Amino acid sequence: MTTSDLPGVMTMRERMLAGQPYITDSEIAALTAAAQQRMAAYNASDPGDPQTRRRLLEELLGEVGEDVEVRTPVYLDYGDRITIGPRTFVNFGLTALDVAPITIGADVQIGPHVQLLTPTHPLDAQQRKDKWEGAAPITIGDNVWLGGGVIVCPGVTIGENTVVGAGAVVVSDLPAGVLAVGQPAKVIRQLG
């Protein structure tokens, strides 16, 4: 008997999708393996064949707007929890760990080697040893520019028209229309 056989008991996948703590089980591992295959196909695709690349990107991600470019390689957990708005550009080496949803708006510019990290782990040592984890969603507003090497941590929302300087680590929400830099990222000025 598994936990899914018990009335009212959520499977680990259901817990993960609901944003509750979970442990990776065989069902989640199978989802990860399937996503890794889709990711490998996209990463191996020919940049000279835009129709095939677009099809593979649509199979990889949850939703992809028009005129989106995602340069390879890209690294992710599941892919289907990622939404990218129209006219967004993603440079080489994006890591998007989408245990929780990642929403990227329209006209966003994402520099090379940016990390969007939704997973969280407990502070309690025994819970970590027991492999419990969780996640919190990330939202990137329209017309945001994330410079190269930016790290966006779990649960962060970045407001529209905001610029985050290269190498910044964003640990808390950023409002719309600001320039933020540093580790942790701090707002240094308003933008026009």
Q: Which residues are catalytic?
A: 121
Residue 110 in contact with residue 89, Cβ under 8 Å? yes
d(CA 78, CA 38): 9
